[in-house]
Chain A
Amino acid sequence: MLFGALLLPVVLGACEVRPRHISAEPAEMSHAAFAPVGTESRVVYDGETLALPIGIEVVGEHLVLLDGAADSMITVLRRSDGALVRTFGRRGEGPGEYKGLWSVDAGDGLVPGRVGEKAAGPAAETDQTFWIYDVGLRRLTHIDLDRDFAGGRSDVYSIHLDANATVLDPIWLDTIVVGIGFFQDGRLAHFDATGKLLRMVGTVPAGDEDVPAEVIQHAYQSRLKAKPDRTLLAVVTRHADRLEIYRPDGTLEAAADPPFGFDPRFVVRQRGERLVMATGEDLRFGYIDLATTDDRIFALFSGRTRAGFPGVANFGEYVHVYDWNGTLRRVLRLDHSALGIAVDPAGQILYTLRHDPTPAVLGTKLPPEEGPAMTRSARTAAAPELRSDGSSTMLGSQW
């Protein structure tokens, strides 16, 4: 055991942290061969309620924002005009409080207390309900904008996910919850409606057999979103350009051809009695967020290294648009660096989170798709038409 731990840095020499010649690595992956489509955004909301927005989701006619530093950690906006609807969510660990906001699940009209039954009546018709996930508390909390804030409900309905590991991006699939995380086995975890762990499904990303599974899972930290009809799951990797599409049972349905083909750079280190992942300045960020519609997956891509973009490598300016077969359809270039994205159900407006110069939600009306999918041959053919500086061509999206 000890021998194996001592041997690990040798075994993993190929991904040693802090290479001597970091400059040999491009600070950002070039998209010249993808003929990115330029876009133009406008500010939807930049009110004083925002401090450090970290998550955004479309819930019916609303936008739900998660904030890492605001006094009220959750902000609800009206999508049509960006009007502030409500802020709520104080910091804490009690009912209705939050410690580490992570994600929002529109919830598909699920009814607390009768999970698995679709809501009938106003909640289902107006999309007033959603679930907030707190990674620090490993807790899903149900929100009903109509009932919770109209004096109609005094209790807080929440579910604690009973897993001995970090769980990320849990979403409802009919009567169960599925999440991704740093599990010792499996790629996805299934929980019942009370939060009890049912099973692990799928396989841990491939790695050296001497590296603990949870370390590999950490290195391959991913985001998970469902197709709106919840028949497929899209998983994108934070430190690689990997998109995987799973069936709910954990079967891999498709894996996209990686646009650049890079994997997480990490080493395994001994910390006390534990083996953990360590990374350095050469760590590159891949897909940092995603959003889905019935026919498209929008994956926000960084491609930046820590060394090249100190403090902002986890922001991205490019959105890779895939179909649900895992085929890259086109690449969008934002006019700003974004941390999070969401998309309207029609796939016409992309909402993004910006931090600088001021925290804001931006909206980008997407230009219609034109031309074939981004096959390798199409990329090669497109490259010579680009300007020598590799910049993109603005196709126009008046907003």
Chain B
Amino acid sequence: MKLPNRIAKKVATLSLLVAAGLLSPVSVSPGQGFAIVDACAQGDDDDWGGVSCCAEFMSFCAADLTMPGYYASERGCVRWHTSTPADVAR
């Protein structure tokens, strides 16, 4: 059964926070769940729990790349284009 987007979003965020707590401060390699684009607007610090690229909505990590895999929110770093918890947890 498919969850409504809003519920899915909340569950996804919660899942991500749990995941971030387990993973931080270890950076996760691309292909392991974090589609990291380097040269982030945030520089190379671990401001976002080990995610080296986490910019705001509609911001870019580098001039010739597309949008970051994560966006910065009040609740921390959330995966861009996430609609199901599985997308975050995998």
Contacts and interface: CB of A to CB of B under 8 A. Distances in A.
Interface of A: 17-18, 48-52, 54, 68-71, 91, 99-100, 102, 135-136, 164-166, 182, 214-215, 217-218, 221, 238, 269, 271, 274, 276-280, 283, 285, 288, 306, 310-314, 339, 356, 358-359
Contacts of B65: 166
A218 B63 contact: yes
Most buried by A among B39, B41, B56, B58: B58
Nearest to A73: B81
Contacts of A280: 42-43
A71 B39 CA distance: 29
A51 B2 CA distance: 14
B82 interface: yes
A56 to B, nearest CB: 13
B63 A277 contact: yes
A285 B55 CA distance: 12
Contacts of B4: 48
Interface residues of B, number: 34
Given A182-B64, A339-B57, A279 B9 contact: no
26 contacts: A48-B5, A51-B9, A52-B57, A68-B57, A68-B80, A68-B81, A69-B81, A70-B5, A100-B66, A102-B58, A136-B66, A165-B64, A166-B63, A214-B63, A217-B63, A218-B60, A269-B39, A271-B38, A277-B41, A278-B44, A279-B41, A279-B42, A283-B41, A311-B75, A314-B59, A339-B57
B76 interface: yes
A17 B44 CA distance: 12
A293 to B, nearest CB: 23
Contacts of B44: 269, 278
Contact of A100 (B9, B41, B67, B74): B67
B39 A312 contact: no
B67 A52 contact: no
Interface string B61-74: 01111110001111
A278 B57 contact: no
B59 A312 contact: no
Nearest to B12: A69
Given A70-B83, A311-B74, A314-B57, A276 B62 contact: yes
B81 A165 contact: no
A76 B5 CA distance: 17
A140 to B, nearest CB: 16
Nearest to B76: A311
B28 interface: no
Contacts of B41: 277-279, 283
A263 to B, nearest CB: 16
B90 interface: no
Contacts of A99: 66
B82 A69 contact: yes
Q: Which 3 A-B pairs have the closest CB atoms?
A: A51-B5, A218-B63, A314-B56
A216 to B, nearest CB: 9
B63 A215 contact: yes
Nearest to A164: B64
A51 B83 contact: yes
A166 B66 contact: yes
A314 B58 contact: yes
Contacts of A51: 5-6, 8-9, 83
